Amino acid sequence: MISLKTFHIFFIIISIVLFTCYGIYEMNNPSFNGTLSFFPAVLSFILAVGLIFYCKNVLQKFKTL
């Protein structure tokens, strides 16, 4: 059985990959006209970076548990 810690880290990593892939997809194939599709792409990149910092903090916290 997979532990809750392992699943949490796995879920964060999958989320980072999905946000990054969506940002790249949105930049290459805009779903809205003009620069409007730029905002979801940038937002997904910002969320991916935020999740990277969150993953770093979670890994440090799990080392102390």
Determine contact, residues 44/26, Cβ cutoff 8 Å: yes
Q: Is 0.75 topped by the overall pTM?
A: yes
State pLDDT tens for residues 5-62.
Answer: 999 999 999 999 999 999 999 999 888 887 888 899 999 999 999 999 999 999 999 8
DSSP alpha helices (H): ranges in 1-65? 4-28, 38-64
The domain of 36 spans 4-64
Q: What's the number of domains the chain is made of?
A: 1
Answer positive or negative: Cα dihedral of 22, 23, 29, 30.
Answer: positive
CB 8 within 8 A of CB 58: yes
Structural tokens at position 26: 């949105």
